[in-house]
């Protein structure tokens, strides 16, 4: 009886686990170096408008290191929309995200002297992102 109960608890915990995929993006810098970026879901602090963003990391000599925050936090974007930070990330990252089939470009949002592309990520991509720890 004890063995059966333990088995049932294991099955229940597996059924309630959300499957998370490691999302990766091939990225080539302006200097021609190619990286495989690991993408993670992040949460902006509420005092800065809240919202969800994407952080990229790279593998440097066996250690995972931050590469860049791909997104820019804006208040009042439509649900499901995120701005890509082409001011602080290399601007070709937008094309790489679109070509990988992760998102579609919707419009541009101006902030100061910069215009940021606003995209909508596919549901499969966004729901599959692992939370950054």
Q: How far is it, in rounded angstroms, from Cα 111 to Cα 105?
A: 17
Q: How far is it, in rounded angstroms, from Cα 72 to Cα 74?
A: 6
What is the residue-averaged pLDDT of the chain?
80
Model confidence over 24-62: pLDDT tens digits?
Answer: 888 877 788 888 889 999 988 888 778 889 999 988 888
Q: Confidence class of residue 22 from pLDDT cuts 50, 70 and 90?
A: low
Q: How far is it, in rounded angstroms, from Cα 9 to Cα 60?
A: 40
The predicted pLDDT at position 7 comes to 31
Q: Give the chain's length.
A: 133
CB-based burial, 49-83: b 16+ in 10 Å, e otherwise: eebbbbbbbeeeeeeeeebbbbbbbbeebeeebbb
């Amino acid at each position: 009886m004890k063995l059966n109960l333990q088995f049932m608890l294991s099955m229940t915990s597996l059924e309630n686990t959300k499957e998370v995929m490691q999302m990766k993006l091939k990225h080539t810098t302006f200097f021609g170096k190619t990286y495989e970026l690991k993408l993670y879901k992040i949460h902006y602090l509420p005092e800065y408008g809240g919202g969800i963003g994407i952080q990229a990391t790279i593998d440097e000599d066996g250690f995972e290191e931050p590469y860049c925050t791909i997104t820019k936090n804006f208040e009042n974007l439509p649900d499901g929309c995120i701005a890509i930070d082409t001011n602080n990330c290399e601007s070709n990252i937008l094309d790489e995200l679109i070509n990988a089939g992760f998102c579609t470009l919707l419009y541009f949002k101006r902030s100061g002297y910069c215009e940021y592309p606003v995209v909508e990520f596919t549901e499969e991509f966004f729901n599959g992102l692992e939370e950054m720890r």
